[in-house]
């Protein structure tokens, strides 16, 4: 485990720079938070001094007016320090709210922006559920991390250092005892958390992600599970994952327990040394009762902070572990990127040319296509027929540039698709998926996905062209019809047609009178019904005819 960790940058070295970069986006916010919270700790630093003054004044006797005045001064100072501390703390706390929320939003948004653009392969190999878990867990870990550093660790260290200096100025020997104690304690905590707890926490996090992924996988494929009556099998699968998760989490929790016990043992030694030292000073006549009060109060404040430093470093380590997977998403390269200065594709006719294309999926040795040349003229309709696995779907994916070819070129109207923007390319291609994939959004939004802002008339027309108009007549309020209504209304083959009703492209040709149908490419392994619903179809339309057809050529819809 340790070897494994040493081979890559430790989580802390990846995560902290990432977080600090986000802090730098809000320099004013960061300064107000740190200033307010650090300022508040100054009160804690001076509290023991005035407690000592108070006790010394009191031991002088209540009848002495000078002592009474000194006692009231000390009392006033203690109350005033408390008030200042409260106000500064409130300022810090108020500032940390928008500060942290903004970073959390930025991080979640950036992660989503990237994940959406990761390659098709990345998505094929990642559980959507795990990715969601990584992002949301990372967001909340960032909240804990910010709180830990700004609200806890910085003030703790400031109080610790300040008390050590103040105490050391009075009694160098006591200052030295505390310095030595802190020098043993803090490195011990750092080593325990990074070497002992972190590896276990990292493994338990990975299992946590797996539990999320397993749940999401089975739930997403619930239709398959149901159709095979495989609920019990999925239950058992989850139980296996949970049992391993439990073992890993147990190990990491136990390590937390052992570490905190070790911390307390070191603190106990320190307490004995400091209080014993104060006793010796008093016996030697070098410390008044007020001085002893000062030492005791200082020690208890230091003790509280030292005990908490351990907890804060644990929290730091835990939040860093929780954020690691999110930061990895930010470090991941986007598989298929636009070339520098890529321009939008200009499709006029829609001729598709495969020029000596060689392609193989990652990890495969023999290419799926080896020097494939195809020329589909503008306006031509082509059906690809072949046995399952022969590469029909891949052909369509290459036209969409979901994968880059390893040799040759794919041209549309003479433009190499590798050199144009992916957005412009894909928004020119209408595709009817083999399985209808619907968003959990209204039916109208689902249909108009390819053309946001399409009119209701256009949406209805698209649905009509997909032979889904009986449904439309039933769903009176299309705009508000839910995905569930849609599912209920469009079953089986009708659903495939329904998903095909998606209004495609910027200028979807559902406008009356627009759009002659341009080259159309249908791919079908089998199409027994002959209605084009057996496999996906795609077409490339100059003038955006609606994406309603499957593989079978249809008559011009006459819109
Ligand atoms: N993402 C992928 N990674 C690796 N191999 C793949 C991937 N997608 C498809 N393949 C393989 O490529 C071959 C062609 O697949 P595909 O184009 O889907 O065939 P078809 O649509 O003709 O059934 C098959 O052997 C399939 O297993
Ligand atoms: Mg296929």
**DSSP code string of 63-115:** T-HHHHHHHHHHHHHHHHHHHHHHHHHHHHHHHHHHHHHHHHHHHHHHHHHHH
The answer to whether residues 448 and 549 belong to one domain is yes
Question: Which ligand neighbours the alpha carbon of 386 most closely?
Answer: 1
Sequence-distant (6+) residues with CB within 8 A of 274 are 174, 177, 178, 181, 295, 299
The answer to whether residues 536 and 417 belong to one domain is yes
As to burial, measured by CB atoms within 10 angstroms (0-12 exposed, 13-18 middle, 19+ buried), residue 141 is buried
The answer to whether residues 534 and 512 belong to one domain is yes
CA 37/CA 14 separation, integer angstroms: 26
The answer to whether residues 127 and 43 belong to one domain is yes
- 103 has a pLDDT exceeding 90: yes
The answer to whether residues 287 and 428 belong to one domain is no
pLDDT tens digits, residue range 168-206?
888 888 888 888 888 888 888 888 887 888 889 889 988
The reply to whether 533 falls in a domain is yes
344/536: higher pLDDT: 344
CA 344/CA 229 separation, integer angstroms: 49
Does ligand 1 have an atom closer than 6 angstroms to the CB of 35?
A: no
pLDDT confidence tier of residue 96, bands split at 50, 70 and 90 = very high
The last residue of a domain, from among 309, 331, 353: 331
The answer to whether residues 314 and 430 belong to one domain is no
The answer to whether residues 447 and 542 belong to one domain is yes
Sequence-distant (6+) residues with CB within 8 A of 292 are 278, 281, 282
Three-state secondary structure readout of 354-414: EEEEEECCCCCCCCCEEEEEEEECCCCEEEEECCCCCCHHHHHHHHCCCCCCCEEEEEECC
Strand 429-432 relative to strand 381-385, pairing: unpaired
Q: Where are the alpha helices (DSSP H) in 147-197?
A: 154-170, 172-191
Domain hosting residue 146, numbered range: 12-331
The reply to whether 247 falls in a domain is yes
- Expressed in angstroms and rounded, the spacing between residue 391 Cα and the centre of ligand 1 is 6
The answer to whether residues 423 and 447 belong to one domain is yes
CATH number at residue 165: 1.20.1560.10
- 501 has a pLDDT exceeding 90: no
The reply to whether 412 falls in a domain is yes
The answer to whether residues 215 and 305 belong to one domain is yes
Nearest CA owner, ligand 1 atom 25: 389
- 43 has a pLDDT exceeding 90: no
The reply to whether 4 falls in a domain is no
The answer to whether residues 97 and 145 belong to one domain is yes
Residue pair 71/58 in contact (Cβ under 8 Å)? The answer is yes
The last residue of a domain, from among 281, 299, 331: 331
Residue pair 519/492 in contact (Cβ under 8 Å)? The answer is no
Lowest mean pLDDT among 150-159, 438-447, 550-559: 550-559
Place of tokens 């080259």: 519
**Max avg pLDDT among 55-59, 427-431, 544-548:** 55-59
Q: What is the mean pLDDT of the chain?
A: 82
**Which ligand 1 atom is the nearest neighbour of the CA of 387?**
22
Sequence-distant (6+) residues with CB within 8 A of 167 are 174, 175, 178, 295, 298
Q: Rounded to 5 degrees, what angle do the CA atoms 454, 457, 462 make?
A: 75
The last residue of a domain, from among 297, 331, 365: 331
For ligand 1, pick from 124, 389, 435 the residue to mutate: most ligand atoms within 8 Å of CB: 389
Question: How many residues would you count in the chain?
Answer: 559
Does ligand 1 have an atom closer than 6 angstroms to the CB of 526?
A: no
The reply to whether 339 falls in a domain is no
Q: What is residue 531's three-state secondary structure?
A: coil
Nearest CA owner, ligand 1 atom 20: 389
The reply to whether 3 falls in a domain is no
The answer to whether residues 433 and 506 belong to one domain is yes
DSSP designation for 152: I
The reply to whether 194 falls in a domain is yes
Query: What pTM was computed for the model?
Result: 0.72
């Amino acid at each position: 485990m340790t070897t494994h960790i040493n081979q890559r940058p430790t989580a802390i070295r990846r995560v902290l720079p990432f977080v600090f970069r986000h802090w730098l986006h809000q320099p004013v916010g960061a300064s107000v938070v740190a200033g307010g919270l650090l300022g508040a700790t100054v009160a804690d630093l001076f509290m023991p001094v005035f407690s000592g003054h108070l006790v010394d004044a009191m031991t002088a006797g209540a009848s002495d007016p000078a002592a009474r005045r000194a006692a009231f001064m000390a009392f006033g100072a203690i109350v005033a320090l408390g008030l200042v501390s409260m106000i500064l703390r409130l300022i810090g706390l108020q500032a940390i709210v928008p500060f942290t929320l903004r970073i959390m939003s930025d991080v979640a948004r950036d992660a989503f922006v990237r994940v959406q653009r990761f390659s098709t392969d990345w998505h094929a190999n990642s559980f959507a559920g795990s990715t969601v878990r990584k992002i949301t867990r990372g967001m909340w870990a960032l909240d804990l991390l910010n709180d830990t550093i700004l609200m806890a660790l910085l003030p703790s260290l400031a109080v610790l250092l300040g008390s050590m200096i103040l105490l050391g100025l009075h009694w160098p020997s006591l200052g030295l005892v505390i310095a030595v104690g802190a020098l043993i304690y803090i490195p011990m905590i750092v080593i325990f958390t990074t070497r002992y707890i972190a590896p276990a926490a990292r493994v338990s996090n990975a299992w946590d992600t797996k539990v999320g992924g397993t749940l999401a996988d089975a739930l997403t494929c619930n239709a398959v599970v149901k159709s095979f009556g495989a609920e019990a099998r999925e239950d058992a699968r989850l139980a296996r994952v949970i049992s391993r998760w439990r073992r890993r989490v147990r190990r990491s929790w136990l390590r937390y327990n052992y570490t905190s016990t070790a911390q307390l043992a070191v603190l106990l030694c320190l307490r004995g040394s400091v209080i014993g030292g104060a006793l010796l000073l008093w016996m030697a006549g070098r410390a008044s009762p007020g001085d002893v009060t000062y030492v005791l109060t200082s020690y208890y404040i230091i003790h509280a902070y030292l005990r908490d430093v351990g907890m804060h470093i644990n929290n730091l380590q835990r939040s860093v572990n929780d954020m690691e997977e999110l930061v990895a998403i930010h470090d991941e390269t986007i598989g298929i990127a636009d070339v520098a200065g890529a321009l939008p594709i200009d499709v006029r006719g829609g001729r598709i040319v495969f020029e000596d294309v060689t392609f193989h999926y990652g990890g495969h040795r023999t290419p799926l296509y080896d020097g494939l040349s195809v020329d589909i003229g503008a306006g031509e309709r082509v059906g690809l027929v072949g046995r399952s696995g022969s590469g029909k779907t891949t052909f369509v994916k290459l036209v969409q540039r979901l994968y880059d070819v390893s040799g040759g070129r794919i041209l549309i109207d003479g433009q190499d698709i590798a050199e144009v923007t992916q957005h412009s390319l894909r928004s020119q291609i209408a595709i009817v998926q083999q399985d209808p994939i619907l968003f959990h959004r209204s039916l109208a939004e689902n249909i108009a996905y390819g053309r946001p802002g399409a009119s209701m008339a256009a949406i209805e027309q698209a649905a009509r062209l997909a032979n889904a108009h009986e449904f439309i007549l039933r769903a009176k309020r299309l705009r508000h019809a839910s995905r569930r209504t849609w599912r209920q209304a469009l079953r089986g083959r009708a659903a495939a047609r329904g998903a095909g009703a998606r209004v495609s492209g910027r200028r979807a040709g559902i406008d009356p009178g627009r759009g002659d149908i341009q080259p159309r490419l249908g791919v079908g392994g089998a199409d027994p019904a002959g209605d084009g619903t057996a496999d996906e179809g795609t077409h490339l339309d100059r003038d955006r005819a609606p994406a309603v057809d499957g593989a079978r050529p249809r008559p011009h819809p006459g819109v």
